[in-house]
Copies of this chain bind each other. A is one copy, B any other.
Amino acid sequence: MPHYADSLASLVREHKSPLVVGIDPRWDQLPDSLRQGDSLADRAEAYRRFSIGVIEAVAGVVPAVKPQAAFFEELGPAGMAALGDVIARARGNRLQVILDGKRNDIGSTAEAYARGMLGEASPWGADSVTVSPYLGDDSLAPFVTTAIERDAGLYVLVKTSNPGGALWQDKLIDGKPLYRHVGEHVEHLAEKTAGECGYGLVGAVVGATYPEQLSELRQAMPHTWFLVPGFGAQGGAAADVAGAFDASGLGAVVNSSRGVIFAYNRPEYAQFGQDRWQDAVQQAARDATAQLCDATPAGAL
């Protein structure tokens, strides 16, 4: 299998799109046709059908999807079974799967998460996962080891898109904010695991809502692929994420969830109606891709 970052770079180039579609199903926003019954099992089945519908709509248009574990976990074991099906279907459609669970723990417990989630042979089968750094370097190490073994990837939270993220992430330590210290450690891991494209297996989550910090971190972390949330519904514009890309338009994928998957509820896509909700999703993915390509260096993608 090829190196994780090389595969991702290749898919971004093939589709000429740095867009990741976030799969965040929410009951109240699903198309009416999918909302049958109201038990946990009914809801889980609706999430499964909706998510697979999204996958079919964006396959061939974008390089990756990012299922949000929380929304499936909210439905208990039935939701988690649906999540497993959704990941398998995405992989079957040549979409990279970034499983967004922000997991972590210490030692052998972190190993259990990594072994369970990373790689085609694992029970969940994700290509990459998001990881929280508060527990320190020895909590990240088992994820790195497993990612290397399985040609999988990680995205460590560095600078998150929410306003409250600043509370501790921006606190100065020896004259530099905490997120820069975490970023330096991540860059070190990325450099050690770099593939042919120059990027490592270890990436970073850096929010679109802080454009200055995004550019600053791009400079400081040349081997680190960024996963950029906060574009679209969270308020980040395409121009805000321009600093995340390198000169060839690589080095970052940008997530949009609600703006794409619930496009049929947006006035701009009203012409599709509920019956053609998948067409609205596909059109929104194409439109977001075009916006992001405009934000990359001219003609890079």
Contact = CB atoms under 8 A, between A and B. Distances in A.
B102 A132 contact: yes
A70 B173 contact: no
B169 A172 contact: no
B102 A103 contact: yes
A85 to B, nearest CB: 9
A138 interface: yes
Nearest to A83: B77
A225 to B, nearest CB: 20
A134 B168 contact: yes
Interface in A89-138: 100-110, 112-113, 115-117, 122-124, 132-138
B124 A76 contact: yes
A259 interface: no
A60 interface: no
Given A77-B77, A171-B174, 10 more contacts: A70-B103, A74-B112, A74-B123, A75-B116, A80-B81, A103-B103, A106-B164, A134-B169, A137-B167, A171-B173
Interface of A: 24, 26, 40, 68, 70-71, 73-81, 83-84, 100-110, 112-113, 115-117, 122-124, 132-139, 141, 157, 160-169, 171-174, 178, 181-182, 185
14 contacts: A24-B109, A70-B103, A70-B105, A73-B112, A73-B116, A73-B124, A76-B84, A80-B80, A102-B104, A132-B134, A134-B157, A136-B164, A136-B166, A137-B164
A70 B167 CA distance: 28
B165 A135 contact: yes
A109 B160 contact: no
Contact of A123 (B76, B115, B124): B76
Nearest to A258: B108
B164 A109 contact: no
A168 to B, nearest CB: 6
Contact of A116 (B76, B83, B113): B76
A164 B178 contact: no
B168 A182 contact: yes
B75 A110 contact: no
Nearest to A44: B123
A109 B70 contact: yes
A139 to B, nearest CB: 6
